[in-house]
Structure 1
Amino acid sequence: MTTVPTDPFEYIHWNMKLAHKTFEEGYNVIVSKLDDPPTNDLKNFLGYCEAWAHAISHHHDTEVYTDTLQEATLFPALNTKMDFSHEKEQHAAVHAFLDDFLATVQAAQADTSKFDAAKLKGMLESSNDAIFTHFREEVEHIEPEKLKAAGFSEAEGRQMIADVDKHAKSHGDPFLAVPYMRSHTPPEYKEIWPPIPWILRKLVVPYMLAKKHSGYWKYSPYGMS
């Protein structure tokens, strides 16, 4: 049975891998649909594309963001004993793509005559290496033994988890990010990831948060709960 790691360093690594997997799933859905786009349902399909890009941006914010109170999230904390400058550079490249992708999607949302499936697919495929190389290298960099070797204590690891969780809950669009993550979580992880209370998993997300953009999630690979 799949369980949540109790070691904080294993948890950080496990959580990152699962988050990245949801983005890979969304990428594959969008690319496959662009070969024969649902032109009779563009509002929902473009909304799904927007949700995918928003979910990655929100995830990256929980890694690099530092607010005015200097409450650092993941990378600023890791940078105290490791060098995450490479990941920061990768984030810049990924976000340059996300900004262009979102602008193109939002232009088509405002005027469907501007929808260009070939252009969107080209944008995605040209950024494939930057996105997935970053995901792979980031997961390798935060392997539990590497965090321990850098000298982080378990207390520091747990603080990183708490800070990321706090930021994730207080930023981003919950009507996009949360339903996206839930509907891209495979069945074997539904009860334990993302780590949210039962009432959110079973009631709030499927019957409240997901309802606002219910048409988007028909393109998701898994159910909402």
Structure 2
Amino acid sequence: MPNSVRVPPIYTDTPLALIPTPKFELGRQDPFIIEASHMALSHNAFIRGFNTIYQQAPRIERLTDKADFVAYCLAWVDCIATHHQYEETELFPNIDKAAGKTGLMDGAVHEHEAFQGGLDKFKTYLLDKGAGGFSAAELIGIMNVFKDPLYRHLKAEPPAIVALAKYSTTDNPIDILGIADVAGKKKVSLGFMFNTLPVFFLNMETVEFEGGMWHGVFPPLKGLARAIMNKAVPMWHSGRWRFVSCDADGRVKQLAV
């Protein structure tokens, strides 16, 4: 009898659950709720990335798969690092400046510090071991150490953004959406777009999440721009991007292994 073919499972939101957007949870919107919701959606992409690594690492056997998988893991951790750098060097200081306050998002910065050591260890381990030497059990063991503080932060930051609305007054309005847009654009380079950004866009499920209310809304790409980012760009380093959780249309897909 022929050997049975192992069919990879469909991605599931485990071990980390997705977080709701403030717009969906509160049933209302203002600029701070919208920006906080965009933050929640971004954090869900990081969560799905975490889950894809956690789910697929134990099933990878071939050396060629391991090489692509290590590159995928490194893209995921670099994406998070860039996101937090953008917050600490651009977003948070400009929120303080607009509000005429200091340290409004210091809580989030301290949360970053709580799991950064774990992310650094995760990256160093992969760089040191490479495709031929990494152990799935050891990798997941490292992830288990920083999993809880990372998740606490990903859940806590969107409500903290919502709470900033109290600093925006008639006399001193804060354009939170404009601040975030300008800050984010400063961190996008060609290298980042081709080597890292697909791990973000292709872990963004929008068809079913919260009834599809974000499909075609966030990420704010439409038509040709969306096709380029979700279909053309991932052709570069396509081997690593097969480990993502979603297809180019924002639907959960079958995992690579």
> Quick check: TM above 0.5?
yes
The whole-number CA distance in structure 2 between the counterparts of 1:171 and 1:64 is 22
**Paired letter, 1:36:** R
The whole-number CA distance in structure 2 between the counterparts of 1:154 and 1:191 is 29
**Paired letter, 1:78:** I
The question of 1:114 aligning with 2:139 is answered no
Structure 2 residues without counterparts, runs of 5 or longer: 1-22, 208-213, 250-257
Tell me the SS of whatever aligns to 1:17.
Answer: helix
TM-score, normalising length from structure 1? 0.82
Structure 1 residues without counterparts, runs of 5 or longer: 66-72
Shift of 1:138: 1.1
Which residue of structure 2 lines up, in the alignment, with residue 88 of structure 1?
Answer: 109
Which residue of structure 2 lines up, in the alignment, with residue 60 of structure 1?
Answer: 84
Alignment CA distance shift 1:204-1:131 (3 Å): closer
1:7-54 per-position Cα deviation (integer Å, ceiling 9, x unaligned): 421221111000000111111111112233343411111111111111
Tell me the SS of whatever aligns to 1:220.
Answer: coil
The question of 1:74 aligning with 2:98 is answered no
The question of 1:220 aligning with 2:237 is answered no
| Cα RMSD (Å) | 2.5
Alignment CA distance shift 1:169-1:6 (3 Å): farther
The whole-number CA distance in structure 2 between the counterparts of 1:98 and 1:171 is 24
Of 143, 146, 156, 1:127 maps to 146
Alignment CA distance shift 1:77-1:105 (3 Å): same
The whole-number CA distance in structure 1 between the counterparts of 2:191 and 2:114 is 20
Residues 30-39 or 124-133, more deviating: 30-39
The whole-number CA distance in structure 1 between the counterparts of 2:94 and 2:58 is 42
Alignment CA distance shift 1:53-1:39 (3 Å): same
Runs of 4+ off more than 4 Å: 152-155
Q: Is the 8 A contact 1:187 1:222 kept in 2?
A: no
Shift of 1:210: 1.1
The whole-number CA distance in structure 2 between the counterparts of 1:21 and 1:42 is 25
Q: Is the 8 A contact 2:94 2:179 kept in 1?
A: yes
Residues 97-106 or 183-192, more deviating: 183-192
Q: Is the 8 A contact 1:53 1:102 kept in 2?
A: yes
Give the paired residue count. Answer: 210
1:75-97 per-position Cα deviation (integer Å, ceiling 9, x unaligned): 11334436322211221233222
The whole-number CA distance in structure 2 between the counterparts of 1:21 and 1:139 is 11
Which residue of structure 2 lines up, in the alignment, with residue 206 of structure 1?
Answer: 231
1:177-222 per-position Cα deviation (integer Å, ceiling 9, x unaligned): 3211221111424522222353221135421x21221011211111
Q: Percent identity?
A: 24
The whole-number CA distance in structure 2 between the counterparts of 1:7 and 1:199 is 29
Shift of 1:6: 7.8
The whole-number CA distance in structure 2 between the counterparts of 1:201 and 1:16 is 19
**Paired letter, 1:42:** K
Which residue of structure 2 lines up, in the alignment, with residue 100 of structure 1?
Answer: 121
**Paired letter, 1:124:** M
Q: Is the 8 A contact 1:16 1:139 kept in 2?
A: yes
Which residue of structure 2 lines up, in the alignment, with residue 147 of structure 1?
Answer: 164
The question of 1:159 aligning with 2:178 is answered yes
The whole-number CA distance in structure 1 between the counterparts of 2:236 and 2:227 is 16
Which residue of structure 1 lines up, in the alignment, with residue 216 of structure 2?
Answer: 191
TM-score, normalising length from structure 2? 0.73
Tell me the SS of whatever aligns to 1:175.
Answer: helix
Alignment CA distance shift 1:63-1:219 (3 Å): same
Q: Is the 8 A contact 2:75 2:196 kept in 1?
A: yes
